[in-house]
Amino acid sequence: MSSDYLLQVNDLKKSYTTDNLILKGISLDIKPGEFVGVLGLSGAGKSTFLRCINRLIEPTSGNILFKKSFITDKDTDNEVMDVCKLNNKELRLLRRKIGMIFQQFNIVKRLTVIDNVLSGSLGYQNAFKSTFRIFSVDDKKKALANLERVGLLSQAYKRADALSGGQQQRVAIARTLMQNPKVILADEPVASLDPKLSREVLGILKKVCKEDGISALVSLHTLELTKIYSDRIIGFQGGYITFDGSADQLNDDEIEKVYTKTGD
């Protein structure tokens, strides 16, 4: 694995049923800090791909490599770990380094904003502390700092359901930052938001990723937003990546290739 890459995907295939490959051979490399927009028709396999990366879904074949040093914080030069072969302990370590943001925010509405953010650090706590939600002063300071980063410090002690959708997604971003992720997988993070809030949320997501050198893979429905925010865009079509380039390179011909359904 080249030292430039955080993540390498090689010939990844996924089928849910024996005769139907959804991903037919996906290969790509992601650099640290890269903000990658993921495009494709509904059903193209965007969510499937994102979920294979943290093994919420088991890939059928291929491999997904992370630098070992990114997963364990140990200086291991260029040693890599294959996500498809990790044991349970290694998988837990990996998932700490991969943040996940969902369309529906997945926050706990009856809890306060800060309690939602603090829950992002639970992976690091021992079982007793997690069960009784005992957080250290440092955890609380970090949660408040992350809320400040997403512009919600003044809302910290409100109930989460008192916030707007855009604000709730910003809470989800702050919660993910508690894990100190190396990668954020965001599956349609703004699909439930109006255009103005979508821009606000994507702007904040990109800002924190750039500040912390986090790579992001963000699936989006809107071409316009994808072009504005992505350093790099990948397009899924018919089980393959049919576009991989910059917003400028995504011209009308390329757009058509991503959005035209093939017969197979």
Ligand X SMILES: Nc1ncnc2c1ncn2[C@@H]1O[C@H](COP(=O)(O)OP(=O)(O)OP(=O)(O)O)[C@@H](O)[C@H]1O
Shortest distance, CB of residue 187 to Mg ion, whole angstroms? Answer: 6
216 phi and psi angles, rounded to 5 deg = -135, 140
For ligand X, give the closer residue by CB, 81 or 98: 98
Residues facing 100 on adjacent strands: 185
> Tokens at residue 215, please?
């790579």
Q: Is 47 in the site for Mg ion (CB under 5 A)?
A: yes
Query: Residue 204 and residue 82: Cα distance in Å, rounded?
Result: 31
Q: Which of Mg ion, ligand X, none has residue 45 at its interface (CB below 5 to 8 Å by kind)?
A: ligand X
Instruction: Name residue, tokens 């630098």.
Output: 67
Q: 45 to 64, contacts with ligand X by CB under 6 A?
A: 45-48
3, 18, 42, 88: which one contacts ligand X (CB under 6 A)?
42
> Tokens at residue 193, please?
């938001």
For Mg ion, give the closer residue by CB, 44 or 65: 44
Count of residues that bind ligand X according to CB under 6 A: 10
Query: Residue 86 and residue 206: Cα distance in Å, rounded?
Result: 29
Residues across the chain: 264
Query: What residue spans of the chain are helical by DSSP H?
Result: 46-53, 68-72, 88-96, 113-118, 127-131, 137-149, 165-177, 195-212, 223-229, 252-259
The mark string for 119-158 relative to ligand X (x by CB under 6 A, - otherwise) is ----------------------------------------
Shortest distance, CB of residue 6 to Mg ion, whole angstroms? Answer: 23
For ligand X, give the closer residue by CB, 3 or 17: 17
Q: Is 16 in the site for ligand X (CB under 6 A)?
A: yes
Interacting residues toward ligand X by CB under 6 A: 16, 22, 40, 42-48
